[in-house]
Structure 1
Amino acid sequence: MNQNILVTGGTGYVGCVLTPKLLKLGYNVRVLDIMWFGEECTKQFEDHPDCELIQGDIRDETIVKRALAGIDTVIHLAAISNDPCSDLNPKLTQQVNYDAVKSLVRLSKNSGVRRFIGASSSSVYGIKSEPDVTEDLPLEPITLYAKLKAATEPIILTEKSADFVPVCIRSATVCGYSPRMRLDLTVNILTSHAVNKGLITVFGGQQKRPNIHIDDITDLYALLVEAPAEKIAGEVFNAGGDNYRVIEIAEMAREVVGGDVKIEIADVIDERSYHISSEKIKNVLGFIPKRTVRDAIADVKKAFENGLIPDYQNTRYYNIKRMRELYH
C-alpha cells in the first residue's frame, strides 16, 4: 500500500522541490500551506492524481485535523522562516513556530500518524568556536527563530513510542533554485547580486556558514520516509554539505557568473558563525550530499538566464518584504 504523506509548507521554497519528488517516488501527497508567497509552484503538481492541495493555516486545528486524516507520515516544513521575519511579528512567530507545532504533534499522534519528520535548523547552535559542531553540543540559539526551533525539538522527539517515530533535521542553510524561489538566502543572494548588479556586497565575510543544496535536503526528507525506525526514532541529525566562509561563497559566485563582477566588503551585521558536522547522518543512514555550493550557484544563474526568475526585485522572492506587505 502506498504511503500517504502530509507536507506542511509544501508550496514553500523547500516544499516546492520536495512535493514533486515525493509524487515521482509513488507516494500519495497532501500539501497544507497558507500560500502567502503565491501559487506559482503548485502548477507542477496541482493536477496530479496522487496530490491533494489544502490552502489553510497551520494554526487552525479544524483544517489540520482534516489534513491529517489517513496520513502515515508528516513532513513538517511550515514556519515563519528566517530571523527578520520572526522578529517582525514575534506573536505570530510564537503561534506558528511553537504553538502550532505542539498542536500538530498532538493531533498527528491522535490521528494515527506513524512517522513525524521535523525541519529544525543548524542556527540552534548559535556562535560556536568548535571546529566541527556536532549534535551533542549545547544549543545556544541567539534569535527568536532559532530559539523556537530549539524549543520545538523536544516537543517532537519526546513523543517517541512504539507506533510513533519522530526525527528532527538540523538543516544547514538551503541553496539553489526552486520554483518558489528565495533570494534572501546567502548563496542565492550573492548569486543574484553577481548576475543582476555585477556587484556582490559581503557583510564581514569571515563568518562560516554551512550550506546544503535544495536537491540534497529534499532527497534526505524522502529518505527519512522509509529509513528504518530503529535508526531514526527520537534522533536529531545535522544535515549540511559545504561549510564555507561567506567571502569564499562570494568569490565562487563571481567565478561561476563570470564577467567583471566586483566584491565589496561592508561592516558585519550578522555574526553567526559555525561549521557543522554531518558525520552522524552519514554513519547512521549513509546520507552524503551529492551537490555543491558551486552547483547551486550555477543552477540559480541558469534560472536567471532562462527567465525563471523574471524580476529579481519582486517581493515574493524575499520573505521579509512579503511579510511586511501582509502585516504592515
Structure 2
Amino acid sequence: MKVLVTGGAGYLGSTLVPMLLNKGHDVTVYDTLSWGVHSLIHVANDTKLRIIKGDIKDRKHIADEIAYQDAIIHLAAIVGYPACDSNPDFALATNISGTKNIAELKSSNQILIYASTGSCYGAINGICTETTKLNPLSLYGKSKASGEEIVQSVGGISLRLATLFGISTRMRLDLLVNDLTFKAINCKNIELYEGDFRRTFLHVRDAAEAFVFALENEQHMSGKVYNVGDEELNMTKLDVAQIIQKLIPDCTITQIYSKYDKDKRDYEVSYRKINEMGYRHEISIEEGIKEMLKLFPFLSVGESLQYYNI
C-alpha cells in the first residue's frame, strides 16, 4: 500500500514507520519536523520512504499528499494536557481543524486510522469499554474526543491508546513511566501524586503494532473505536512506582498531595474488543524500564529537557 503517516517523525510515528516499511509499504511521512528529522535517520536509506515537511492545518498542502494514498494513519497532534494548555488555540486548530482537513479530503475508498487516547474517558467509575460515555476533562481530552467524532463520521478507525511508555528514536520523558524512571535514576527519588489513581499502559512498540494490525484488518474494523492495550497493564501509579523501585532499589518514593492531573485519568479499561480480534501486547512495563536503564544513566538532566512535550 501507499501509506501516509501524519506525525511520522514523532514518538509513536518514528516507531511505526520502520514497521510499515518492513511490511513492504510505500510510506510518506508528513510532519512539521518541530522536533527535527533525526528520529528517521535509521530508515533514511529505504527507497520506499518519503519525508514531507508540512502541517495538517495547511489544507492545500495536505490535500496534495492525501490524493494518491491508499491509507492515512493520522498521528499528528498536540499531545498531552500541558502542551495543549500552553497554547489552546494552536492545539484546537491542530487536533480538531487539522483532523477535519484529513477526514474531509480523504476519498471513500481510502483507509483512515486515527490515534485517539484514554484521556477521552476522564474520571469514570467502573471499567471503561468502547461504549462508555466519554467525559474528557482537559482541553487535550476534549480535542481528541472531537477528533474521534470527525473520523467516525467518514468511516475511519479510532484507536484509543493507553498511556504509552518505552524507548523511541524521538524520545519523550513527559510520559508517566518514562518520567518516573528517569527521575528514579537521576534524582534517586520518585515524587508521586494521586498514587492511587488507576491507569493503563502500553509500550510504544506495541502501540505501533496496533496500527499495523488495524491496517491489515481494516475491513472488519472500519467505522469503529477500539481501546488499545491489555488488562494486564491496568494498574495504579503507585504500582508503577513500586515496579521501578524494585529495579532501582536505591530510589525512594515520596507521595505528594498538592498536585493533580487535569485529565483526572482514574479508570480501568477493557481491551476485550480488540483482543478478541487477535491483537495482544508483547512488552511488559518491567521490560520497558529495563530498556530505559540501558540509556537513561547517560542522559543528563539538561539534555533531557528537550524530551518534554511542553
Worse overlay, 9-18 or 37-46: 37-46
Residue identity matched to 2:227: N
5 Å-filtered alignment, 1:215-234, equals 215-229=205-219, 231-234=220-223
Contact 2:122 2:137 in 1 (8 A): yes
Q: 2:2 aligns with which of 1, 4, 26?
A: 4
Identity of aligned residues (%): 32
Give the counterpart of 1:54 among 33, 40, 52: 52
Partner of residue 121, structure 2: 125
| Aligned twin of 2:225 | 236
Contact 2:67 2:106 survives alignment (8 Å): no
Q: Are positions 1:254 and 2:245 aligned together?
A: yes
Structure 1 runs of 4+ with >3 Å offset: 309-314
Query: Is contact 2:92–2:143 with CA below 8 Å preserved after alignment?
Result: yes
| Residue identity in the other structure for 2:280 | I
In structure 2, the residue matched to 1:303 is: 295
- The partner residue of 1:150 within 124, 145, 152 is 145
Separation in 2 of the partners of 1:158 and 1:104?
A: 12
Q: Distance in 2 between matches of 1:39 and 1:266?
A: 37
Match of 2:167 in 1: 177
Match of 1:205 in 2: 195
**C-alpha displacement of 1:252:** 0.6
Cα distance in structure 1, aligned partners of 2:120 and 2:18: 29
1:15 equivalent in structure 2: 13
Following the alignment from structure 1 to structure 2, what is the Cα–Cα distance between the partners of residues 145 and 51? 31
Deviations 1:77-119 (A, max 9, x none): 000010011111111011100011111111122xx65210011
1:135 aligns with 2:127: no
Q: CA RMSD in A?
A: 1.5
Q: Which amino acid aligns with 2:130?
A: E
The answer to whether structure 1 residue 290 and structure 2 residue 288 are counterparts is: no
**Distance in 1 between the 2:290 and 2:267 partners?**
25
Superposition deviation, residue 61 in structure 1: 1.6
Q: TM-score, normalised by structure 2?
A: 0.94
**Contact 2:56 / 2:101 at 8 angstroms: preserved in 1?**
no
Report the CA distance between 1:313 and its aligned residue. 4.3
Structure 2 unaligned blocks of 5 or more: none
With the length of structure 1 as denominator, give the TM-score of the two structures: 0.89
2:4 is paired with a residue of what secondary structure?
A: strand
